[in-house]
RNA sequence: GCCCCCAUCGUCUAGCGGCCUAGGACACUGGCCUUUCAAGCCAGAGGCAGGGGUUCGAAUCCCCUUGGGGGCGCCA
């Protein structure tokens, strides 16, 4: 049975790199029919917070990367928070075992200068502890040993133990260090495959030494290349936002983000770069993952997202849009959308042709939902204040008032007839009406917009604009 | 300093000794469409890091150099 895990430390938001790691773990596990485990590595007391833990879990859930065992849902191998496991004495127990096996020692530090090691001991230095000396436990690396392992991506790896050196496994505050806690937990949780960032590659031989010391079976490793920024330095805030939450507030879809993350360093057949991740579980293969670090391309992400936005079933888009508004706290608008679901659907359907993200979708669709839309300055100056504005609007009101055919074709007929009256050029005529009914000069197609808005709204808006035009002259 | 990983258009990649005159996608440029802006369609520009080998033949195999990244924490 395949068992994998994603083990973030709650010291910040979920980073796109972390999301990508989680994605590969999840994908592999779902394909193999195994269990995907979420473990919270909160051994860094200073920086870990419950808030970040919640944010990370929310972000993973939003992406749809559901876990089978974890701190919130429990499971047989829990607890799933390292702080809780520490409380149960799990790490103490295994550290003690290593000391008994003479594979680890206590280290006593100078009281004044805690960076200075006084001595090592196999016995617990009780009296020094009483006197307030810092005491850690250090793992002793074997001497002159070649540590080899097979990385699923890198192939055969080989390190000399002497290059690595001894390292601390229990801190003086009683908490385990990362390299120790992962091994103990991965073993106890019966993890079979570890997919993680390449930054852990050099730590792996240390961890393998611990597995070997205990005589535990070593899991399979696969170290995934890191995501870099445009200048090839590690992706960070300098390059732009990196947290999943940011992309969520920017209006990216889970499908879009996931698709892009998969595409990053993933071999895809020509013409098949747009897909829903759930449709790719079956065909997922570890050998599709490239072994080269990759640069995060915000533009391609937006393109991928736009593809999803435009091609997904409209019902799902409505659902995602609503969820998005909830997320960014636009509750009033949500209520408005729910009032006329059919209208909402029609509006979003014509608006999505123009945009790539839901933030942009909100921008362009807002005037459809809100009769109190604002007029762009450019529209007022360039069209509404012109001489042709009032006569043209008057004519439009008359014609649309008489119009009974509100299909797209019907609206087109009216518009073309209006233009043929030569009150203004065709372009000016169309733009004046466009701005009159939506306040903007960039909108979905004019005929379809008129059709979707319908007679009531169009007439209301035309006369509202007429009032404004008159007040301006 | 020591150890490790990586190297094809600006970016993500195809390529695994002859199908390569190096293919696709994003971005870019031009065109078409057109009521705006997009989308869409068509076309174009753009790359095997460098040097040695191996071979009849190298983007592909080997070595070196260079460049980028990671690790060597009482961070994870």
Q: CB of A435 within 8 A of CB of A383?
A: yes
Half-sphere exposure of residue A155, counting CA atoms within 13 Å on the CB side? Answer: 2
Query: What percentage of chain A reaches a pLDDT higher than 90?
Result: 82
Complete edge-to-edge strand list for the sheet that includes strand A146-151: A155-160, A146-151, A220-224, A193-197
Q: Which nucleotides of B are covered by protein (CB under 7 A)?
A: 2-8, 10-15, 23-27, 35-40, 68-76
Query: Given this model, what pLDDT does residue A283 score?
Result: 86
pLDDT at A270 over 80: no
- pTM of the predicted model as reported, rounded to 2 decimal places: 0.92
Enumerate the β-bridge partners of residue A197: A224
pLDDT at A72 over 80: yes
Confidence of residue A328 (pLDDT cuts 50, 70, 90): very high
CA distance A8 to A60: 11
Query: What percentage of chain A reaches a pLDDT higher than 70?
Result: 100
Start-to-end CA span in chain A (Å): 77
Query: Given this model, what pLDDT does residue A61 score?
Result: 97
CA distance A127 to A134: 12
What is the number of residues in chain A?
A: 473
The nucleotide whose C1' lies nearest the CA of A408 is: B35
CA distance A233 to A238: 10
The whole-number average pLDDT for the span A251-275 is 89
The whole-number average pLDDT for the span A326-354 is 92
CA distance A467 to A272: 52
Query: Given this model, what pLDDT does residue A455 score?
Result: 93
A237 is an active site residue: yes
pLDDT at A268 over 90: no
The 10s digit of each residue's pLDDT in A209-218 is: 999 999 999 9
The 10s digit of each residue's pLDDT in A2-41 is: 999 999 999 999 999 999 999 999 999 999 999 999 999 9
CA atoms A199, A252, A59, A45: torsion sign: positive
**Protein CA at A137 to nucleotide C1' at B43, angstroms:** 68
The 10s digit of each residue's pLDDT in A287-315 is: 888 889 999 999 999 999 999 999 999 99
The 10s digit of each residue's pLDDT in A216-240 is: 999 999 999 999 999 888 888 878 8
Q: What is the mean pLDDT of chain A?
A: 93
**Protein CA at A297 to nucleotide C1' at B10, angstroms:** 11
pLDDT at A183 over 80: yes
CA distance A11 to A296: 22
Confidence of residue A335 (pLDDT cuts 50, 70, 90): confident
The nucleotide whose C1' lies nearest the CA of A166 is: B72
The nucleotide whose C1' lies nearest the CA of A153 is: B5
CA distance A399 to A383: 20
φ, ψ for residue A457, nearest 5 deg: -65, -45
Q: CB of A227 within 8 A of CB of A187?
A: no
The whole-number average pLDDT for the span A265-284 is 85
Query: Given this model, what pLDDT does residue A106 score?
Result: 96
Distances (CA, A) of A292 to A225, A266, A295, A388: 6, 10, 10, 61
Number of H helices, E strands in chain A: 20, 12
Query: Given this model, what pLDDT does residue A234 score?
Result: 87
Query: Given this model, what pLDDT does residue A115 score?
Result: 87
| Catalytic option among A237, A378, A421, A426 | A237
Strand, helix or coil for residue A234: strand
Strand, helix or coil for residue A187: helix
């Amino acid at each position: 049975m395949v068992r994998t895990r994603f083990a973030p430390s709650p010291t910040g938001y979920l980073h796109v790199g972390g999301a990508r790691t989680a994605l590969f773990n999840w994908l592999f596990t779902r394909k193999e029919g195994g269990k995907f485990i979420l473990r919270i590595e909160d051994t860094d007391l200073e920086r870990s917070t419950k808030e970040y833990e919640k944010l990370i879990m929310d972000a993973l859930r939003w992406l749809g990367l559901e876990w089978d065992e974890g701190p919130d849902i429990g499971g047989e191998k829990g607890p799933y928070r390292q702080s809780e496991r520490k409380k149960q004495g799990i790490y103490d127990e295994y550290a003690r075992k290593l000391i008994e096996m003479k594979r680890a020692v206590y280290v006593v530090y100078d009281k004044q200068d805690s960076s200075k090691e006084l001595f090592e001991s196999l016995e617990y230095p009780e009296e020094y502890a009483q006197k307030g000396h810092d005491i850690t436990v250090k793992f002793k690396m074997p001497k002159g040993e070649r540590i080899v392992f097979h990385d699923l991506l890198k192939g055969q790896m080989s390190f000399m133990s002497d290059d690595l050196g001894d390292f601390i496994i229990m801190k003086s505050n009683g908490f385990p260090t990362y390299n120790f806690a992962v091994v103990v937990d991965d073993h106890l949780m019966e993890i079979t495959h570890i997919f993680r960032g390449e930054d852990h590659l050099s730590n792996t031989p240390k961890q393998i030494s611990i597995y070997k010391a205990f005589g535990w079976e070593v899991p399979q490793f696969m170290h995934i290349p890191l995501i870099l920024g445009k200048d090839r330095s590690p992706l960070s805030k300098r390059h732009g936002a990196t947290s999943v939450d940011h992309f969520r507030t920017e209006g990216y879809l889970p499908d879009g983000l996931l698709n892009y993350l998969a595409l990053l360093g993933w071999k895809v057949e020509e013409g098949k770069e747009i897909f829903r991740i759930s449709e790719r579980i079956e065909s997922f293969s570890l050998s599709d993952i490239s072994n080269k670090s990759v640069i995060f391309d915000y533009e391609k992400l937006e393109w991928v997202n736009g593809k999803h936005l435009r091609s997904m079933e409209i019902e799902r888009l409505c659902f995602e849009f609503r969820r998005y508004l909830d997320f960014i706290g636009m509750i009033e608008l949500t209520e408005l959308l729910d009032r006329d679901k059919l209208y909402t659907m029609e509006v979003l359907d014509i608006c999505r042709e123009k945009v790539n993200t839901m933030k942009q979708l909100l921008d362009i669709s807002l005037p459809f939902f809100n009769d109190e839309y604002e007029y762009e300055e450019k529209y007022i100056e360039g069209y509404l204040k012109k001489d042709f504005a009032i006569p043209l609007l008057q004519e439009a009101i008359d014609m649309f008032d008489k119009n009974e055919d509100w299909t797209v074709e019907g609206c087109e007929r009216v518009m073309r007839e209006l233009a043929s009256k030569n009150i203004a050029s065709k372009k000016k005529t169309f733009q004046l009406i466009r701005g009159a009914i939506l306040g903007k000069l960039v909108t979905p197609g004019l005929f379809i917009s008129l059709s979707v808005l319908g007679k009531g709204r169009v007439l209301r808006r035309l006369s509202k604009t007429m009032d404004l035009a008159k007040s301006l002259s």
